[in-house]
Amino acid sequence: MKRIGGFALLVVVLSCSRRAPPPAPRQAAAEISVPATPAPRDEEAERVDRQLKMIFGKGAQDMRDYATQVAQFSEFNRSQILFALLFLGEAGFRGEDLPRALSASLDVAALSLAKERGFSEALDALAEIKKSERVGEFSLRKLGLGRGAYQRAASSRGASSSDVTSEIETIYFLIAKKTGRPLGGASEAMSRN
């Protein structure tokens, strides 16, 4: 036993004398059989399919196709875009709101030094605003926006604090203003570089 800073530290070393199992005998190439049926899809893909169907119903295939299209013009891959769509869909974004929220998140990522973190924080902030139906200062910071700029834009645009849709549209306006491009334009430019 050894004393370190008033605390006793007991070091026990266990040794195992297990032997590894003998190697399996090699099979000739002719003896190896290949299954006739295709390999089952991995569990993650099946889980994503179930979630897409649960959230978007008959539009699940459209979401898969949309994710493929977006991934072609984005720095993010198809599965990242699909998970983002699922996350936003769970938060309540539907119809035209869904691609706009995704575009805004991708634009915030384009402005961030750490792209994945910026994307994740933007998704989180928009989902939080949609669920809570209010724009908080912490959510604005995640989006890289200031409270003062938001309040000035909201008042000039006539956004009502009781209408979460107009508040989110104000956020989209500020993100587009910050990037100097239409919503989604910064992420497309980022993918070309």
The model carries a pTM of: 0.73
Higher-confidence position of 10 and 163: 163
In this prediction, residue 4 carries a pLDDT of: 46
Residues 6 or more apart in contact with residue 92 via CB below 8 angstroms: 130, 131
* Interatomic CA distance for residues 172 and 179, integer angstroms: 11
pLDDT at residue 137 tops 60: yes
* Interatomic CA distance for residues 80 and 76, integer angstroms: 6
* Interatomic CA distance for residues 176 and 181, integer angstroms: 6
DSSP SS3 for 136: coil
Mean pLDDT across 99-109? 94
Give me the amino acid identity at 30. A
In this prediction, residue 34 carries a pLDDT of: 47
In this prediction, residue 107 carries a pLDDT of: 94
Task: Give 4's strand partners.
Answer: 7
- Mean pLDDT (the chain) is 80
Say if residues 123 and 87 touch (Cβ distance below 8 Å): yes
In this prediction, residue 159 carries a pLDDT of: 75
Domain ranges of the chain: 56-192
Mean pLDDT across 24-47? 58
Element (H, E) at 7: strand 7-9
pLDDT at residue 60 tops 50: yes
Question: Residue 47: CA atoms inside 13 Å, Cβ hemisphere, count?
Answer: 5
* Interatomic CA distance for residues 43 and 80, integer angstroms: 16
Mean pLDDT across 93-122? 93
Mean pLDDT across 4-17? 38
Mean pLDDT across 4-8? 42
Cβ neighbours of 15 (radius 10 Å): 4
Question: Residue 165: CA atoms inside 13 Å, Cβ hemisphere, count?
Answer: 7
* Interatomic CA distance for residues 78 and 74, integer angstroms: 9
Greatest mean pLDDT among 10-14, 39-43, 90-94 lies in: 90-94
- Residue appearing with tokens 């979401």: 63
Give residue 121's pLDDT band: very low, low, confident or very high (50, 70, 90).
very high
Give residue 92's pLDDT band: very low, low, confident or very high (50, 70, 90).
very high
9 alpha-carbon distance from chain centroid: 44
Higher-confidence position of 124 and 38: 124
Q: Where are the alpha helices (DSSP H) in the chain?
A: 43-56, 60-72, 78-91, 97-111, 115-132, 137-142, 147-157, 164-179, 185-192
